[in-house]
A and B are shown apart, each in its own frame.
Chain A
């Protein structure tokens, strides 16, 4: 079991490199490595657990779509592939190879980002998402987690409604054909939300021993108000009067007061936590691996990091050290594989 914090650091590292480069070769390597992690996450569970949308399928859609959209709407670049009549609004003009490549890189970047979030979605249980929130925000965290679980439910519902309409003879040709889907989807979603709200109420969600009319903690109220005032005043001092030191000082005080108020509010919202996962050596290794992935890209990659097909289309450079460092993102694969072997051994 990999610790949730290790996964969040892994995601942070993955996002840093993905947002820090436009080199298609690096993006392809990163995408392939993260796809490996997704596969490793599927395999050891032996369950029919699947992401709502497979990252591979998403990449197959978004890369060509990105390329097509860009080539049709951006008419700059030296290598003209085709010319559409200027009379066609937006689309008219030269279609260039540079525009096509730039759009494909956009798509590649999006696909890699999607894969990184898919990893987090598959790896981190909702429980850990809730635990990250301050105790005072627990009900809000549950609502967020419910919203997260709502995504696959809604996707399944869309599929059901679409099929139900298809069996009544509706052909999905244009946007207008999708409109009738909206009403059953909306009603179904509201019905589901009501059912869940009822279930949460029946299970005593957000209940406490305190009676309804118990006095509110005035300390929390004044603390939050004071923190807000300090933050605003600090910001104003910095921006309006350029009093940087005083500004920062007040903002720091505001942040401390905010933290104190949250902590105090958390104490009045009692909650216990079921089984914290211990931090292991493997978690440290994964964290270090993820952190090391980022450094060479910023230190060594130079111009290769921010590749652009403009003004002239060239082949992107590939720094093998940077490529090697990216392997740090695959460390979870080894840990997941080890866990699988250990589980198989225990089963025997």
Chain B
């Protein structure tokens, strides 16, 4: 169905090709997963499938691409639109209409499909993606997962043979991601649809993949069955990391595949973490019975939490649970209807946002909104000027902060020319330059590759050790398990569970890590915790008792 033969693609003005000598094939009905670090060309590869590269982006493509027997370069994206459905990373950015069924019908009206056939196709799409109850809903009122399913349905309107998806679950909570992936699996099995997707969250998508395309930049890509490619990946899901550590063969891709290995092992009893860790000292930031109304609806309802210096707290919850509104209320961007936010002993409602943010760094979901200076270093100096601070007032010079964040060589670069991970670190530097005592991060790992995520993890550990209070809003349960001292679970605007990550994540099925699912009831969340109990002192596997 898809054949890449020595494909090399160079963007206009670039000195190096982004794809170099890429060759692979995908048979009809297979699911191919494209993985690799940020900026390695995953999205570009997907765009080669329907001719967006080079027709839309310009640049030069050498080698041969064949999709459903057609050459996308010759056919152009317009011609390929009937054969390749494309779902972009941000579903909202691709909607043209304002209601679900109108969005699905858009491509069909455009292709002058007669009304009776259009009716049948729209009904089928609604059925395939479980969208029938939402058919008349305005797109702006849908959840993230629902929007993604509408985008998939719209891409399938012209009955393409291939569906390409660019990070389809990166913005979704675990439940929504599960729903989207289940829909894709159903389409793949029932319709024999060939699916190609790029994704960083391997633990979510690997079980569905028949073929892996691992792009490695300057090195030749590794292509093959998942179990063949997995050993080459630095970015492996926890279940594969555990398999590697314990010498399992073949490496498991999913919990189901790992279970037979676990059943043959001797597994000791874990230490269930205490429900709540005792705190000493005075909280840096507190909320007291906080209620915030957003868009006419109570987004935060009676929330009382405290954030202490030297701890990382993970705030988890589904899309629309009120997590972002809570963060915005903490820095005074929205005002509570009831209750108070206190910074130390001071009421945040009586302080200027700028004054609060000098002591509480807040990184919103989209770091791009923060960046507007000509150079990376200027971003830091602008923040200092806004706060009326001089570099001499600081214990950590802006240049040193950039070096600590691994951006020393980027100081004179235009921030928007950087990769996603680098831009995020610049945004972090721009808010951390005032050396605040607390840091609030909203989905900081969205779109980050493995390396960038590890770099962020290391920074979080370092800042926590330095006494910073960190509140981390994330859907990435594996990250939360690795870094958090405490976890809060939010539902419909309320904190419904609070405690150590072991107590919260291991007992909430929706937010189970892979290890929690593999070893239920043990309280283990990470591979390191598991290895502590299932390996013998000499490093071998403990025999079953």
Contacts and interface: CB of A to CB of B under 8 A. Distances in A.
A242 interface: no
A160 B95 CA distance: 20
A195 B387 CA distance: 35
B96 A160 contact: no
Given A47-B137, A171-B352, A272-B113, A199 B93 contact: yes
A184 B431 contact: no
A170 to B, nearest CB: 5
Interface string B345-358: 00000001110011
Contact of B295 (A50, A205, A206): A50
B369 A184 contact: yes
Interface string A184-223: 1001100110011111111111110000000000000000
A241 interface: no
B107 to A, nearest CB: 5
A274 B140 contact: no
Contacts of A161: 369
Interface in A132-155: 142, 145-146, 149, 152-153
Given A180-B372, A207-B110, A196 B364 contact: no
Nearest to A187: B416
Contacts of B434: 169
A149 B114 CA distance: 27
A126 interface: yes
B286 interface: no
Contacts of A157: 369
B13 interface: no
B369 to A, nearest CB: 4
Q: Which of A169, A205, A275 has the most CB of B within 10 A?
A: A169
B296 interface: yes
Contacts of A169: 354, 357-358, 383, 386-387, 434
A127 B96 CA distance: 9
B541 interface: no
A201 B155 CA distance: 12
A203 B369 contact: no
B138 A168 contact: no
Nearest to B111: A204
Count class of interface residues, chain B = 35 or more
Q: Is the interface of A mostly helix, strand, loop or mixed?
A: helix
B386 A168 contact: yes
Interface residues of A, number: 52
Interface string B431-450: 10010000000000000000
B382 A204 contact: no
B513 interface: no
Interface in B65-112: 77-79, 81-82, 84, 86, 88, 90, 92-99, 101-102, 105-112
Interface in B347-406: 352-354, 357-358, 361-362, 364, 366, 368-372, 382-383, 386-387
Nearest to A49: B138
Interface in A217-276: 270-275
A200 B96 contact: yes
A170 B386 contact: yes
A199 B50 CA distance: 11
A197 B354 CA distance: 37
A191 B92 CA distance: 13
B52 A168 contact: no
A138 to B, nearest CB: 8
A127 B109 CA distance: 11
A153 B93 CA distance: 10
Interface string B143-178: 000000000001101100000000000000000000
B94 A195 contact: yes
A100 B295 CA distance: 33
Contacts of B297: 48
Contacts of B99: 125, 127
Contacts of B96: 126, 142, 145-146, 149, 196, 199-200
Contact of B90 (A49, A50, A195): A195
B77 A201 contact: yes
B458 interface: no
A19 interface: no
Given A170-B354, A202-B50, A125 B98 contact: yes
Given A168-B357, A274-B109, A188 B98 contact: no
A306 interface: no
B78 A272 contact: no
Given A161-B369, A201-B78, A167 B93 contact: no
Contacts of A163: 328, 333, 364, 369
B369 A164 contact: yes
B239 to A, nearest CB: 34
Contact of B106 (A198, A202, A203): A203
Contacts of B113: 272
Contacts of B105: 127, 274-275
Contact of A202 (B86, B372, B387): B86
A183 interface: yes
B276 interface: no
Nearest to B91: A199
B333 A167 contact: yes
Nearest to A145: B96
Contacts of A191: 368
B141 interface: yes
B430 interface: yes
A274 B119 CA distance: 8
A84 B376 CA distance: 49
A280 interface: no
B369 A188 contact: yes
Nearest to B105: A274
A150 B297 CA distance: 24
Given A152-B140, A164-B370, A206-B110, 16 more contacts: A47-B138, A48-B140, A125-B97, A163-B333, A167-B370, A168-B357, A169-B434, A183-B372, A184-B370, A188-B368, A195-B94, A202-B50, A202-B88, A202-B155, A205-B110, A274-B108
Interface of B: 50, 52, 55-56, 77-79, 81-82, 84, 86, 88, 90, 92-99, 101-102, 105-115, 118-119, 122, 137-138, 140-141, 154-155, 157-158, 295-297, 328, 331, 333, 352-354, 357-358, 361-362, 364, 366, 368-372, 382-383, 386-387, 416, 430-431, 434
11 contacts: A48-B141, A153-B92, A164-B364, A166-B333, A166-B354, A168-B370, A169-B383, A169-B387, A170-B354, A203-B154, A275-B105
